[in-house]
């Protein structure tokens, strides 16, 4: 009996000792682990972005359909990689196929931007190996290729799963830059030729001092209070706390094409729940909106507050200072407020530094008057402004209906845009294969005949005043078309004789070089991102002297014109 009581007493003492050890007050490490950190004022104080880097993908492929300007794929690591890929696809006689003069081995590169979804398209860059017998990729077609991300780990090249697949017609650099340098004829691009295969997730990584499951949940709750959408009939926030140190983010539909802006606004959200202090914060941010050095960040925080911030932004958009007015209008646009429209259109017209972000803010703004506002830009003297406004219109469903471009046999789209400004011809070299004619573009000044690319000849027909387009290619039937003596007629006729986008681009460049295209020709004169805005030192809210503000950009206004 005594032994039993002794063991019971010993067991009881041990149990009490363990509970004493588990008490956080007696275990500093456990207490630190369990203690919830004090919440930061803004999300960015506790978290850094994840997934905001672009992913570079590459592969090896074949360009087919060349008019004997290809060449055998010479022995190399690229050829070995391609043979392995062809065996995977069970292509018969791959070595014989690689010896044809109608094919060329190429390296294919692409960049997948942050927030991409499965099915999104990307441009592909085409390069030929240093040692190649191919002389020209013009008129070629990139056969199906699979693109992966590659890294060097432990002195070995590691490849990811397939992140994109690609195919499409090749637009060579020689088509738009000229053929003086033979290397330009074996380099090029496939516009929107790549298709992304997987969604790219975004997220926030919590800093070490804030890594706690309750803190992760609190930050996600603050984000979801501001950003949510309806998945069917269910309301769902964009943030999901996955770990105590990681929050996964979906891209809100309003920011589908402005992922960087979404991340900046998310990180400018306050963590504490809305309360009576919200009005104090609004007052403080309103004062910062009057200070040029602080206005950009204040506008992000106000955008992060959402609806309660609209009166403060509406007051700020009345500022006489163009910089302060722009920041307020940009935030209002992402809140889909009509009051943002006129200030942003004015900024696009007059301020090169604000042009690209203002157009991006208007591109997805949910208001029917945006289309009319963008159409007003078509009369701007600046070709950059016109084409930037056109691109924003084309990216909107209601804008595309207004533009009503002509599909030229599935090769590219031709747009004729009314404009009172100086006529111009614009050629796209990214994303969309398109040619845009602004204003009353003059016809080609062909007195007798014009020799174009790929066996194309354009001859004047004095009896009818029309033009006769002929195309002669080895191994193919001769093709002919008779068209009106207008630039749209010539471009349509080129497709009738089998010409593609590369032929049209090359023909326009050659016509301009030879002086038979009288109007301005420009390649991708889009507004440039990240231009620098220079303000007067000590400028105040009431400073209305717009001439005192200077701008610098990475290109001149009309530098893309030929």
Give per-residue pLDDT as tens, 463-472.
888 999 999 9
Give 272's pLDDT tier (boundaries 50, 70, 90): confident
Q: Is the pLDDT of residue 555 over 90?
A: no
- Give the integer Cα–Cα distance in Å for 351 and 381: 13
User: Strand 239-243 relative to strand 246-249: parallel, antiparallel, unpaired?
Assistant: antiparallel
Query: Residues in the chain, how many?
Result: 562
Q: Which of 339, 407, 353, 341 is nearest to 377 (CA)?
A: 341
Query: What is the average pLDDT value for the chain, to the nearest integer?
Result: 87
Kindly give, in sequence order, each residue whose CB lies less than 8 Å from that of residue 416, ignoring residues fewer than 6 positions away. 406, 437, 488
- Give the integer Cα–Cα distance in Å for 390 and 425: 13
Q: What is the mean pLDDT of residues 77-105?
A: 86
Kindly give, in sequence order, each residue whose CB lies less than 8 Å from that of residue 397, ignoring residues fewer than 6 positions away. none
Give 150's pLDDT tier (boundaries 50, 70, 90): confident
**Domain boundaries defined on the chain:** 55-196, 202-268, 277-403, 436-523
Q: What is the 8-class DSSP label of residue 329?
A: H
pLDDT of residue 277: 81
Give 23's pLDDT tier (boundaries 50, 70, 90): low
Tracing tokens 């790929």 back to the chain, one arrives at 454
pLDDT of residue 476: 84
Alpha helices for 289-396 (secondary structure H): 292-305, 310-316, 322-334, 341-350, 352-363, 369-376, 383-394
What pLDDT digit, counting tens, does each position of 28-81 carry? 655 555 677 888 999 999 999 999 999 999 999 999 999 999 988 888 888 888
pLDDT of residue 424: 97
Q: From the DSSP assignment, how many helices (H) and strands (E) are in the chain?
A: 18, 24
Q: Can you say whether the dihedral through the CA atoms of 507, 513, 515, 520 is positive or negative? A: positive
Q: What is the mean pLDDT of residues 3-31?
A: 49
Which H or E run contains 158? strand 156-169
- Give the integer Cα–Cα distance in Å for 137 and 123: 17
Provide the percentage of residues in the chain whose pLDDT is more than 70. 87
Q: Is the pLDDT of residue 156 over 70?
A: no
pLDDT of residue 276: 61
Q: What is the CATH number of domain 277-403?
A: 1.25.10.10
pLDDT of residue 351: 93
Q: What is the mean pLDDT of residues 92-112?
A: 91
Q: Is the pLDDT of residue 2 over 60?
A: no
Residue pair 492/458 in contact by the 8 Å Cβ criterion:
no
Between 4 and 460, the higher pLDDT residue: 460
Which H or E run contains 126? strand 121-127
pLDDT of residue 32: 58
What pLDDT digit, counting tens, does each position of 192-244 carry? 999 999 999 999 999 999 999 999 999 999 999 999 988 777 889 999 999 99
Provide the percentage of residues in the chain whose pLDDT is more than 90. 69
Q: Which of 367, 323, 363 is nearest to 343 (CA)?
A: 323
pLDDT of residue 29: 58
């Amino acid at each position: 009996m005594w032994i039993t009581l002794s063991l019971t007493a010993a067991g009881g003492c041990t149990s009490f000792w363990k509970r004493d050890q588990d008490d956080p007050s007696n275990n500093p490490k456990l207490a630190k682990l369990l203690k919830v950190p004090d919440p930061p004022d803004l999300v960015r104080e506790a978290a850094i972005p994840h997934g905001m880097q672009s992913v570079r993908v590459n592969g090896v492929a074949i360009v087919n359909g060349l008019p004997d300007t290809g060449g055998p794929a010479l022995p190399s690591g690229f050829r070995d990689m391609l043979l392995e890929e062809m065996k995977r696809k069970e292509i018969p006689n791959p070595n014989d196929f690689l010896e044809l003069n109608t094919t060329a081995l190429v390296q294919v590169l692409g960049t997948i931007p942050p927030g991409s979804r499965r099915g999104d398209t990307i441009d592909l860059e085409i390069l030929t190996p240093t040692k190649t017998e191919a002389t020209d990729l013009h008129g070629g077609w990139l056969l199906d290729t699979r693109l992966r991300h590659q890294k060097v780990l432990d002195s070995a090249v590691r490849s990811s799963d397939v992140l994109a697949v690609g195919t499409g017609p090749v637009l060579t650099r020689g088509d738009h830059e000229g053929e003086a340098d033979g290397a330009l004829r074996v380099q090029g691009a496939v516009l929107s030729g790549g298709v992304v295969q997987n969604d790219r997730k975004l997220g926030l990584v919590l800093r070490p001092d804030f890594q706690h499951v309750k803190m992760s949940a609190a930050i996600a709750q603050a984000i979801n209070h501001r950003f949510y959408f309806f998945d069917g009939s269910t309301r769902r926030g964009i943030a999901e706390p996955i770990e105590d140190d990681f929050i996964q983010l979906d891209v809100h539909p309003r920011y589908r094409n402005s992922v960087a802006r979404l991340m900046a606004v998310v990180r400018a959200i306050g963590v504490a729940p809305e309360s009576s202090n919200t009005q104090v914060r609004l007052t403080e941010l309103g004062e910062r909106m009057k200070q040029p050095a602080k206005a950009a960040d204040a506008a992000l925080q106000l955008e992060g507050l959402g609806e309660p911030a609209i009166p403060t932004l509406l007051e700020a958009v009345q500022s006489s200072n163009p910089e302060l007015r722009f920041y307020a209008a940009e935030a209002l646009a992402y809140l889909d407020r009509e009051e943002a429209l006129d200030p942003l259109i004015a900024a696009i017209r007059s301020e090169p530094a604000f042009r690209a972000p203002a157009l991006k803010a208007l591109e997805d703004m949910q208001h029917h008057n945006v289309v009319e506002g963008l159409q007003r830009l078509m009369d701007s003297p600046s070709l950059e402004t016109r084409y930037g406004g056109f691109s924003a219109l084309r990216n909107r469903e209601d804008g595309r209906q207004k533009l009503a471009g002509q599909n030229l046999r599935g090769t590219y789209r031709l747009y004729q845009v009314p404009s009172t400004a100086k006529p111009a011809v614009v050629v796209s070299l990214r994303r969309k294969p398109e040619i845009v004619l602004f204003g009353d573009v003059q016809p080609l000044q062909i007195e007798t005949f014009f020799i174009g690319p790929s066996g194309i000849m354009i001859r004047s027909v004095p009896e009818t005043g029309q033009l006769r387009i002929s195309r002669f290619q080895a191994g193919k039937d001769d093709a002919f078309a008779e068209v009106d003596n207008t630039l749209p007629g010539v471009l349509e006729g080129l497709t009738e004789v089998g010409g593609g986008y590369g032929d049209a681009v090359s023909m326009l460049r050659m016509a301009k070089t030879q002086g038979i295209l009288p109007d301005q020709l420009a390649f991708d004169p889009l507004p440039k991102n990240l231009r620098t805005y220079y303000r007067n030192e000590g400028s105040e809210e009431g400073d209305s002297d717009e001439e005192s503000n200077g701008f610098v950009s990475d290109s001149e206004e009309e530098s893309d014109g030929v």
